[in-house]
Amino acid sequence: MSEAALIERIAQLEERKAAIAAEQSEAVLAFATAHAESQTAAGDVDPEMLERSIAAQVGLACRVSPTEGRRRVRIARDLHSGHARVRELFAAGRLSEYQTATIVAATAHLSGAERSEVDEMLAQRRVETLGVRRIHDLTRSLAARVAPEKFTARCRAARTGRRVSVRPVADGMADLTAHLPVEEAVACYAALAAAVNEVAVRAEPVTRGRGQIMADTLVERLTGQATARDVNIEIQVLVPVEALIDPDSPLPAQIAGHGPVPVELLTTGGGRRTWRRLITRDGVVIGGDSRSRLFTGRLAALIRARDGHRCREPYCDAPIRHIDHIRRWKDGGRTEFTNGRGLCAFHNHVREMPGWRAESAPTGITTTTPVGRTYRAGVDTRVGQPPSSPEHGSAA
């Protein structure tokens, strides 16, 4: 089989796998209903004990833990209480088991009628084309719109569950997890990320990766051994307008706080350094440009906000790690709002592999894989607007 045919085969099997999972969910619900009826017919039964029995049996049959068995039972139950459209997509293999479970979990606090409202709105927005993170965020937003008081109560209850836990993993390592309100978790992560910038600008060589620096900083700060401070890594260069008009002008550029430098030696920089030219006349700044190769500052923040802080490749919802030029910098692409898109580290690196292409069109961004298969994801350049649903096509 050709590579394109193999990819098509994988896609078909994925749909079949989802359809089988939907069929299994139907069987789980049928078993739970039949078992509950048979047990209650024999006399009074404690509902909690009955649910545990059902969960344990389903867990054994599925070769998973009782906790997972209970989760599957509850998903099967709630899926048949208001989620008719989602259930149809699941049965057709257009929604995966994970995507379906995400929707059900996000609407678990709603009544059947309220779920029906959310279900219809999800179908109208082509939920089957979205990544799991976007499905989660969209479903919770719709649930909040349908039942705002219940949503508020759920969020307040969730904050009482904040906790810290440790779980041993392989090779003498462990996972330390903090379950926190979102604003507190983001603040903690931002502080650790800022520590990476501090290490990067030190004179000594950097021998640790980003994750290692953040982990080390976490331990040091929790034990009271170290502090860090924010670092501005953009280098602003003052360039006399006369030097731009007259190549032979003797007037040098100035790096604020560091003295003069010949204009012809200015570059766009690399690594963590960024040069931004500020045009001056008689020492007064009269303008500037965005000739930086890197998307930084407000421009990067606007692109991240526009893209919802999630990777813009179709079906990927990993956090944005890089701002990528849609038209490559080396091909003449400019560092500007309409030519930028947020990508995770994985997709930014994949794009550099042979055969991968990204092109911008009025309808969005088209990604072409090495086997010729194309995928299109729309980009709304209005800040705050969610990107449109991704579409895919056959091999070219």
165 — phi, psi (to 5°)?
Answer: -140, 160
DSSP 8-state class, residue 94: S
User: In the numeric block, which tokens belong to residue 219?
Assistant: 């331990």
Gap between the Cα atoms of 106 and 110, Å rounded:
9
User: In the numeric block, which tokens belong to residue 101?
Assistant: 């479970």
Least confident of 158-162, 247-251, 373-377: 247-251
Q: CA separation (Å) from 282 to 199, 241, 249, 256, 285?
A: 37, 9, 14, 15, 9
Gap between the Cα atoms of 287 and 272, Å rounded:
24
Average pLDDT, the chain: 80
Gap between the Cα atoms of 302 and 322, Å rounded:
13
Give yes or no for a contact between 343 and 312, defined as CB atoms under 8 angstroms apart. yes
Gap between the Cα atoms of 334 and 383, Å rounded:
19
Q: Does residue 52 or residue 258 have the better pLDDT?
A: 52
Gap between the Cα atoms of 230 and 71, Å rounded:
43
The mean pLDDT of 290-314, rounded to a whole number, is: 78
Decide if pLDDT at 15 tops 90.
Answer: yes
Per-residue model confidence as pLDDT tens digits over 368-393: 888 788 888 764 444 444 455 556 55
Q: Does residue 288 or residue 147 have the better pLDDT?
A: 147
Q: Which residue ranges make up each domain of the chain?
A: 15-159, 178-230, 234-288, 297-395
Gap between the Cα atoms of 13 and 16, Å rounded:
5
Q: Does residue 222 or residue 270 have the better pLDDT?
A: 222
Q: Which amino acid is at 279?
A: I
User: In the numeric block, which tokens belong to residue 362?
Assistant: 């009025």
